[in-house]
Structure 1
Amino acid sequence: MSASVHALADRHPGIAGVEVANITKSFGPDDARVTVLNGVSLTIRKGEFVSLIGPSGCGKSTLLKVVAGLSSADGGTVTINGKSVKEAARRKAIGLVPQSPALLPWRTILDNVSLPIRINPEANAGRTLRDPREILTSFGLGKAMDRYPAQLSGGMQQRAAIARAFVFDPDILLMDEPFSALDEMNRDQQRMGLLDFWQSNQKSVLFVTHSVPEAIMLSDRIVLMAAHPGRVAEIIDVDLPRPRNEAMYASDAFRDLEGYVRSALRKVMEVAHV
């Protein structure tokens, strides 16, 4: 176990933010069903950043949808702070950031981020809600909140989508390759922005990515998945100190870990193609 995970366990002894236990999921007709997830189990502690990485078709996004309550599992259970996914969703304890920002083009950035609060206000009674203006400012969008999505770059739009997920101060943030559509320079900028924000908020995060450097820079642990069927091949501790910044990329420890993760990823991909 990494030093960072030890610290998290010390702060929250015996408490898991998310427990995924023996999840199975398949698609297709009975005579031709394809198993996408096969006995997947993992834990995300409160305040822990966990990334899912693996070859295409290993079920990363499917698992994220099961945890979000957008897809039902055939078997197994998911609990969030000891509650069912349905109950956690009702309490708006789950924040979801999809691959596409999904911003309404006819609404300003502030209106887009405020929209979850305005929908069904009675259900929000008694909830801790965060000020959309404050969140946008913390994400570096204070001067852009009155603009429309088309007036912002792709990276700024994605940042707004992440800010929107924080309005309800969720217990768990689920992120499905949120930077995949960005060029490498913009992607790295948004990645570091997310890292800075997370390091000051310490939310539990489950993050899907295809980028090994991204997974290492952001995570406390990396869950390496194998395909056909989708399953956990290895869970890798990221023993790098926090807080982290761009200088970490050049460190020997980062390069050594990147080499290890890439080697492990090659192995699961070779098995998938045998």
Structure 2
Amino acid sequence: MTAGGAGVEVRGVSKSFGVDGKRVTVLDDISLTIGMGEFVSVIGPSGSGKSTLLKVVAGLLDADSGSVTIDGEPVREASRKKNIGLVPQSPALLPWKTVLENVRLPVQINRAANGKRQLRDPEELLRTFGLGHAIHKHPGQLSGGMQQRAAIARAFAFDPAIMLMDEPFSALDEMNRDLQRIALLEFWQSNRKAVMFVTHSVPEAIMLSDRVVVMSAHPGRIADVIDIDLPRPRDEDAYATDAFRDIEAVVRRSLRAQMEQVHV
């Protein structure tokens, strides 16, 4: 797939936590470009700074050095314009509101950001994610997988330039997780956004992505970038192909090398 211009541009980003001489460097000189229409997954050992990097890109954390632009704009301006869609690990749905009300809420409370942009219809989004039958239900009446789909639909409501996803399926069992990733893949393939997707799952990263970024730990650096040369559109049949297994071996070998470094 040929992606468009830079959706996300990360240049020389470093981030540390702590005070004075007790600061710990979590990210060290990270540079990464994600093109418009490109799906990039970030994987690495615990402590490699994957979620920290995503939070810096989202504007939730300030980098100590370096810069982040979203569609050519500083991250704070992109955030103000609602050009960033964020899907956290927890669905974070309001339990007293229906699924439809939850998806409508960001649009209702951010009217100043609406402008002349083309907003997605919340009911259409929910139907696309297979939740048309559940729009008037409350989150407590849904399974974990359905709640996460509602959270993803909510993130698409503003039709943002990029999507940032922080292990959105990590709390699900493997069968549910596979169903949700295929649903996300089908939606993304029909409505391509620049996506940065943090995961611990190698098959998930390969199935979804155009590239997989492997990070090292302590401090977090980009150790490897692996192209996923599998044809699109993809479905669950891709798992059984020799090409998928070959790429999986490459990614696991790279990831294992980083994990071995942690324990040296």
Q: TM-score, normalised by structure 1?
A: 0.95
SS at match of 2:10: strand
Match of 1:181 among 164, 171, 186: 171
Q: Does 1:210 align with 2:197?
A: no
SS at match of 1:56: coil
Contact residue 82 and residue 113 of structure 2 kept, 8 A: no
Aligned to 2:231: 241
The percentage of aligned residue pairs carrying the same residue is: 69
Aligned to 1:45: 35
Q: CA deviation at 1:120?
A: 3.7
Distance 1:127 1:239 in 2: 34
Aligned to 2:112: 122
Aligned to 1:224: 214
Q: Does 1:16 align with 2:42?
A: no
Aligned to 1:76: 66
Written as runs of structure 1 = structure 2, the 5 A alignment for 1:147-186 is: 147-186=137-176
Kindly provide the CA deviation profile for residues 42-78 of structure 1, in whole angstroms up to 9, marking residues without a partner as x.
1000000000000000000000000000000000000
Structure 1, unmatched stretches of 5+, are none
Match of 2:130 among 124, 140, 158: 140
Q: TM-score, normalised by structure 2?
A: 0.99
Q: CA deviation at 1:31?
A: 1.4
Q: Does 1:34 align with 2:11?
A: no
Distance 1:241 1:122 in 2: 40
Q: CA deviation at 1:128?
A: 2.0
Q: CA deviation at 1:123?
A: 3.6
Aligned to 2:184: 194
Q: CA deviation at 1:177?
A: 0.1
Aligned to 1:266: 256
Q: 1:194 to 1:229 in 2, by over 3 A?
A: same
SS at match of 1:186: helix
Q: For this pair of structures, how many residues does the alignment match?
A: 264
RMSD, aligned CA: 0.8
